[in-house]
Chain A
């Protein structure tokens, strides 16, 4: 169990950190508990990862629920962007914080996890068309805030 936790925790941490931001630690713990409580029902490693992803996204969105769409003061953001190190954590975090958690989730699944629209739709329990439009809006919002 401990060895499996070592293997799966970083993956869950990436999803929860990027989607739930400040609530990421709580989300990651809750996701790991949910994953491991139902572990005996999983048959193979691929199924485990897919299932872990689904639970991590669900818990991250739930944890982020109380703080959906954190508004960012444009003047603060502009100052941050002007001084930015393009590869820095702080800038990515600031931009992500200005997005709706649902948009963060599709960006994470697409750009961190490399899922296609069909797979993302399955994880998020929505139609592929919904994923497509949500991803488009998320990318537009991300680029707009990143280059502001």
Chain B
């Protein structure tokens, strides 16, 4: 009786779970009119992220070890240029999770026919005891509001970079 049915959580499902449990993040999904290999080939080339995310100035890979990387990111936050920030990355086929002490970015994708279902999550990963979360509630709200506007722009940028919109 070793082969019991089991559920293997897929990258998009995984991202949906994280979006529901991290109070300061927002997630958007869209079906992109391009094959999975083309979409994932582009978004997983992290040094090209400034091509679609206008808040980013540069992304440099510092080290790489199998599915894990360290990158250094220069970006604007709320319009202010931040110093270079080290970010830990977990990157697999269809799954990318980037984490710095104050910020997370997640991307997940899966083929949907000839097209690609793409999920993008960003925000401030507020978690901790309920009392701390209650105190941080305003930050979580601002973060969600900001990313609710920002993430669709990122996905527009991906489609533009892939030649799917002008």
Contacts and interface: CB of A to CB of B under 8 A. Distances in A.
Contacts of A40: 127-130, 133
Contacts of B22: 1
Interface stretch (B11-19, B33-41, B48-56, B79-87): B11-19
B102 interface: no
A13 interface: yes
A18 B6 contact: yes
Interface residues of B, number: 28
Nearest to B97: A2
B1 A92 contact: yes
Given A89-B5, A111-B1, A25 B18 contact: no
A70 interface: no
Given A1-B125, A1-B127, A2-B97, A21 B5 contact: yes
A69 interface: no
Interface stretch (A29-37, A47-55, A73-81, A129-137): A29-37
| Main SS at interface, chain A | helix
Interface string B104-147: 10100000000000000000010111100100000000000000
Given A1-B125, A2-B99, A92 B21 contact: no
B21 A33 contact: yes
B21 A1 contact: yes
Contacts of A92: 1, 3-5
Contacts of B16: 29
A17 interface: yes
6 smallest CB-CB distances across A and B, nearest first, come from A13-B7, A17-B6, A36-B21, A17-B7, A24-B7, A28-B7
29 contacts: A1-B18, A1-B125, A2-B18, A2-B90, A5-B14, A9-B9, A10-B6, A13-B9, A17-B4, A18-B6, A21-B5, A24-B5, A24-B6, A24-B7, A25-B13, A28-B9, A29-B16, A29-B17, A32-B21, A33-B20, A36-B17, A37-B20, A39-B21, A41-B129, A41-B130, A87-B2, A87-B3, A92-B1, A93-B5
